[in-house]
Amino acid sequence: MTVETTAPIASPGTDPTLVTPVTSVGQTARPVWPAMMKGLKHRCPKCGKGALFSAYLKVVDSCDSCGQELHHHRADDAPPYFTIFVSGHIIIPLMIVVERIWEPALWIHMAVWLPVTLIMCMALLPPIKGALVGLQWAFRMHGFEYDEEPADASGARTGIS
Ligand SMILES: [Zn+2]
C-alpha cells in the first residue's frame, strides 16, 4: 500500500525530518499545534517563553523574549464562542446527571451551576484566547504573515525568509 504524504521534498540522501517545511509562497511553515499549546499556556506562540498577556485578556504588543509582534491578532469574539461551546458541553451534561440522580430543588441548581459556570468561563477564556492567537500566528493570519526579517530600505517587508 502506498501512502502519499505532504512531506517536504528533500534531495536524495537528505533526512526529510531535518528539512524545514516551506509554504507554497516560500515562507517557513509554522507548526500549528505547538503554537496553540504555547498560547494555551499564556506564552508567546513563537518562542514559548515570553508572556502572552499583560492583563486578564490583554495581549501584549510584542513578546518580551523574542520580539514577535502580537498586537495585530484578531481573536475578536472567537474566544467567548469556544469558551461557551466547551463549558456548555461540560456543564449541561453534569446538570442533567445531577437532576436525574438527586432531583435537587431549582434554587440548588441555580446556587451551584451559575457560579460554577461563571468560574469555568473565566478560567477558560484566557487559555482559549491564547490558543487562538497561536493558531492565527501559525496560519500567518492578520499581520502574522511575515517572519521577523528586517524591513528593506523602503520600509516594506519582503515576506521572504
Ligand atoms: Zn516570543
**Residue 53 φ then ψ, to 5°:** -115, 140
> How is the chain split among helix, strand and coil, in percent rounded to 5?
45, 5, 50
pTM over 0.95: no
Amino acid identity at 57: L
How many of the other CB atoms lie within 10 Å of CB of 65?
A: 14
CA of 94 from ligand 1 middle (Å) equals: 38
Residue spans of the chain under pLDDT 50: 1-5, 7, 9-13, 17-18, 150-161
CA of 158 from ligand 1 middle (Å) equals: 21
| Interatomic CA distance for residues 160 and 148, integer angstroms | 10
For residue 84, give every residue at least 6 positions away whose Cβ sits within 8 Å of its Cβ, in sequence order, or none: 121
CA of 67 from ligand 1 middle (Å) equals: 6
Q: Give pLDDT tens digits for 69-97.
A: 898 888 889 999 999 999 999 999 999 99
Do 42 and 52 touch, CB atoms closer than 8 A? yes
Question: How much is the pLDDT for 154?
Answer: 47
C-alpha cell at 133: 492567537
Going from the C-alpha of 83 to that of each of 25, 43, 93, 95, 141, the distances in angstroms are: 34, 19, 16, 18, 21
CA of 118 from ligand 1 middle (Å) equals: 31
Amino acid identity at 151: A
CA of 96 from ligand 1 middle (Å) equals: 43
Question: How much is the pLDDT for 20?
Answer: 53
Question: How much is the pLDDT for 142?
Answer: 75
| Interatomic CA distance for residues 61 and 54, integer angstroms | 9
CA of 149 from ligand 1 middle (Å) equals: 15
| Interatomic CA distance for residues 72 and 42, integer angstroms | 17
Q: Which residues of 7-34 are buried (b: 16+ CB within 10 A; e: fewer)?
A: eeeeeeeeeeeeeeeeeeeebeebeeee
CA of 52 from ligand 1 middle (Å) equals: 8
Local structure of residue 57 (DSSP, 8 states): S
CA of 35 from ligand 1 middle (Å) equals: 11
